[in-house]
Structure 1
Amino acid sequence: MQLGLVGLGKMGGNMAERIRRAGHEVVGFDRSSPKRDVDSLEKLVQALDAPRVVWVMVPSGDPTRSVVRELGGLLSAGDIVVDGGNSKWTDDQLHAQELGAKGIGYLDCGVSGGVWGLQNGYALMVGGDKDHVATVQPIFDALKPPAQTDESGQELPAAGFVHAGKAGAGHFSKMIHNGIEYAMMQAYGEGYELLEATDLVDDVPGVIASWTQGTVIRSWLLDLLVRALDEDPQLDRIRGYAEDSGEGRWTVEAAIEHAVPMPAIAASLFARFVSRQDDSPTMKAVAALRNQFGGHAVRAVAAQEAERPA
């Protein structure tokens, strides 16, 4: 099968390679990558045989909207656009409507796998029309993890791919996946901090590594934490600063909209905001209040810090 791929960064570049290894043809375009096969979206479309399939892997928001809009002016009825980035599901609904008016199909595909996807395969959550999904299925099959078998050698039900529902369902599912990821990482991080805080435990990395086999909290994320501690046992080389790419916020917003209680994910999102503050104003207020009502001691700002200009 032939595929146009827009965006050849860490994810897109590896996906292109995995698809090629499966025997498909990929025509890649990226505005800055030297790995590109063509130097414009127009030339990418011209290089593909109709009906065309173009997969978009660029940052969510305006970059994706711009590419989809431009493709809408270049493609023809019967072609299909797949957004494999981290777009908000409401954007997918608009894109499906706008492209559908021109006879162009649209699929949203939440992709998980990170930089390890080239080796291990990617989990794919797809939204859109079932006929369009069927057209792109050979590419989905190339990207997803290989089939697993049970102890008798019998192939297990397909995993790593799902047609989640109508337009927007794929990115909505991936959004919730990432919200869960926020909470899991926060729990592992808090456990690590408490282990480091006590003088009872001599081998913190060893304890965490021991959890990777036979326990109910084992996971790939835990394996990655072990890897990080192998490289930097005290995590001295990195700051405790964590960005949020949007999906955590959207997950909490959706929870509010649907009145679904989501305290763990919400707390993990707000913890990331705290990580960006060198001296949290919130905790200053808490300390001041504790001092006012209970006479609890507060830690004064060092004189040299107090003298710094605002």
Structure 2
Amino acid sequence: MSQAQIGVYGLGTMGSALALNMAEHGFDVAVTNRESDWIAAFLAEAGDLAERLHPHDRLESFVCGLKTPRVILFMIPSGAPMDAMIKAITPLLSPGDTVIDGGNANFHDTRRRAAELGARDLHFVGLGVSGGELGARTGPSMMMGGSDHSWQQLGPILREIAAHYEGVPCVAHLGPDGAGHFVKTVHNGIEYADMQVIAEIYSLLRNGAAMPPNEIGALFTAWDRGPLKSYLVEITGRLLGYTDPETGHPMVDVIKDAAGQKGTGRWTVIEALRMGQSASMIEAAVGARGWSSEKDTRQTAESILGGSLGAFDGTPDVLAEAFMAARILCYAQGFRILAAASEEYDWALDFAEIARIWRAGCIIRSALLDDIAGAFGADPPHGQLILAPEFAQTLARTLPALRQVVCSAVHGGHAVPALSAGLAWYDSMRLGHGSANIIQAQRDVFGYHGFERLGQEGKHHGPWWD
């Protein structure tokens, strides 16, 4: 029996798509699944690609069917299931083998697993995979964290199956242990914020300008042909054109306004706050999803507090400029979190490279990422995207529109948590002297915490303690 170059455990949506992608690119892939009856159905659907797919119904034969040193990709739920599989498969492995977690794992778990397996001379990779089922099948964006040894084994496969942007594969070895999973977490946090901004703009047009969904969709489609081009703008334009076959109403109007979430947005916010950062636009997006889930409470509140909305007077051109400003600020906050983690965990993340591998295949791919890669490649002041000359100029042009949109929204009672959070953060960062001095004075009065004086070293206290 021929030995496969890589094994894929888990033939759900993402695992099966990645296995087919690998087979289509000429790799021999060993496959298995906890529910072994899935395997035959998967092979039947694989068609001619089944020749490169080698099925196993037992873990022992699956491991034996791989070339050494082995490369095994797990596409299973994160957390306890992954720990259980590591416990089951470790006795079957040999020094130099690599185990890969391709799910949305908490990077702290990835760091722990890498250390535990490293003590046995085994390698553990945290692989962030973005692009959904279609991306996994035709070319995802992938963010790898792990050892150089594992990259030598895995890199040739990932470069082939990844999405490509102008001939460059959208995959990179970003650092050790949890680096890949952390970058994927922040990717998802940016995704949350961008989706929330789009939802807020939609709501202003729908509820504040009385524009029907198909016309809003046409506007997003037009935006997708310019600087705002992105996957999320593209699909928003398309989905707003659909009609519900049961009622004849716009499809979006029959979908319950309660957004789901799987945790990566919350993880981004938690880690940002823990490291002393505030990703306010991502926080707003996570919060908005939480509030949306309280549908019954909101309906009761509308009858008590009133739910009337005023007119929104912004034009599509003004909205487009505001959208551009918000998107820049969203990415800027995301990269600040990456910078904080890179320093704390000594990862030496390459932000230009991260922007490059996000240009195709992933959910947040957008025309803006090419410019972001260039800006980080030129080493912006203090490493801040908003201070890069090109982006500072763009923000100077687009911020008046964002101010106008937020002002009109607030005046009309429209909730725009992400747009307003981005504006507040920008206004805080552009001031060399803020209002935190009053907070420091308060802290000293009630807790004798002390403060720094302008132009003087050391810790000082106010005259209220004399």
TM-score bracket for this pair, using the shorter chain length: 0.7 to 0.9
Q: Does 1:92 align with 2:83?
A: no
Find the residue that maps to 1:124 and give its secondary structure: strand
Measured in 2, the distance between the counterparts of 1:273 and 1:73 equals 43
Q: Does 1:255 align with 2:272?
A: yes
Deviation at 1:47, TM superposition (A): 1.7
Corresponding residue for residue 10 of structure 2: 7
Measured in 2, the distance between the counterparts of 1:283 and 1:205 equals 31
Deviation at 1:134, TM superposition (A): 1.1
Measured in 1, the distance between the counterparts of 2:242 and 2:11 equals 28
Q: Does 1:275 align with 2:292?
A: yes
Corresponding residue for residue 334 of structure 2: none
- From 171, 175, 178, the counterpart of 1:165: 175
Q: TM-score, normalised by structure 1?
A: 0.83
- From 193, 197, 210, the counterpart of 1:187: 197
Deviation at 1:98, TM superposition (A): 1.3
Q: Does 1:227 align with 2:238?
A: yes
Find the residue that maps to 1:231 and give its secondary structure: coil
Deviation at 1:234, TM superposition (A): 4.2
Q: Does 1:204 align with 2:221?
A: no
Measured in 1, the distance between the counterparts of 2:267 and 2:128 equals 14
Greater CA drift, 234-243 or 14-23: 234-243
Q: Structure 1 residues 50, 159: closer, same or farther in 2, change over 3 A? A: closer
- From 59, 68, 79, the counterpart of 1:61: 79
**RMSD across aligned C-alpha pairs, in angstroms?**
2.3
- From 99, 103, 107, the counterpart of 2:121: 103
- From 128, 136, 145, the counterpart of 1:127: 145
Whichever of the two has the greater Rg, that structure is 2
Which deviations, in whole Å up to 9, do the C-alpha atoms of 1:268-289 show, x marking residues without a partner?
001111121122379849x66x
Indicate if the aligned counterparts of 1:274 and 1:280 stay in contact, CA closer than 8 A.
Answer: no
Corresponding residue for residue 21 of structure 2: 18
Which deviations, in whole Å up to 9, do the C-alpha atoms of 1:159-206 show, x marking residues without a partner?
511211110000000000000000000111111112111455352222
Measured in 1, the distance between the counterparts of 2:87 and 2:268 equals 26
Greater CA drift, 171-180 or 7-16: 7-16
Measured in 1, the distance between the counterparts of 2:199 and 2:94 equals 49
Deviation at 1:8, TM superposition (A): 1.2
Q: Structure 1 residues 271, 104: closer, same or farther in 2, change over 3 A? A: same
Find the residue that maps to 1:8 and give its secondary structure: coil
Which deviations, in whole Å up to 9, do the C-alpha atoms of 1:138-173 show, x marking residues without a partner?
211122113515xxxxxxxx3511211110000000
Corresponding residue for residue 81 of structure 1: 99
Q: Structure 1 residues 199, 128: closer, same or farther in 2, change over 3 A? A: closer
Corresponding residue for residue 155 of structure 1: none
Which deviations, in whole Å up to 9, do the C-alpha atoms of 1:110-147 show, x marking residues without a partner?
01011221454111111111121111112111221135
What is the aligned-residue identity percentage?
A: 35
Measured in 2, the distance between the counterparts of 1:237 and 1:103 equals 54
Q: Structure 1 residues 147, 225: closer, same or farther in 2, change over 3 A? A: closer
Measured in 2, the distance between the counterparts of 1:220 and 1:44 equals 37
In structure 1, give the amino acid aligned to 2:158. F
Q: TM-score, normalised by structure 2?
A: 0.57
Indicate if the aligned counterparts of 2:6 and 2:72 stay in contact, CA closer than 8 A.
Answer: yes
Indicate if the aligned counterparts of 1:107 and 1:126 stay in contact, CA closer than 8 A.
Answer: yes
Find the residue that maps to 2:76 and give its secondary structure: coil
Indicate if the aligned counterparts of 1:110 and 1:170 stay in contact, CA closer than 8 A.
Answer: yes
Measured in 2, the distance between the counterparts of 1:51 and 1:76 equals 8
In structure 2, give the amino acid aligned to 1:98. E
Deviation at 1:73, TM superposition (A): 2.4
Find the residue that maps to 2:296 and give its secondary structure: coil
In structure 2, give the amino acid aligned to 1:19. M
Indicate if the aligned counterparts of 2:269 and 2:283 stay in contact, CA closer than 8 A.
Answer: yes
Which deviations, in whole Å up to 9, do the C-alpha atoms of 1:234-285 show, x marking residues without a partner?
4134222222111111100111111112110001001111121122379849
Measured in 2, the distance between the counterparts of 1:200 and 1:103 equals 63
Corresponding residue for residue 263 of structure 2: 246
Which deviations, in whole Å up to 9, do the C-alpha atoms of 1:202-225 show, x marking residues without a partner?
5222222221111x3221111111
Question: Gapped runs of 5+ residues in structure 1?
Answer: 150-157, 289-310
Measured in 2, the distance between the counterparts of 1:3 and 1:117 equals 19
Corresponding residue for residue 32 of structure 2: 29
Corresponding residue for residue 292 of structure 1: none
Find the residue that maps to 2:78 and give its secondary structure: coil
In structure 1, give the amino acid aligned to 2:263. G
Corresponding residue for residue 187 of structure 2: 177
**Regions of 4+ moved over 6 Å:** none
Indicate if the aligned counterparts of 1:108 and 1:169 stay in contact, CA closer than 8 A.
Answer: yes
Indicate if the aligned counterparts of 2:75 and 2:103 stay in contact, CA closer than 8 A.
Answer: yes
Indicate if the aligned counterparts of 1:18 and 1:142 stay in contact, CA closer than 8 A.
Answer: no
Question: Gapped runs of 5+ residues in structure 2?
Answer: 44-54, 244-249, 306-466
Q: Structure 1 residues 119, 94: closer, same or farther in 2, change over 3 A? A: closer
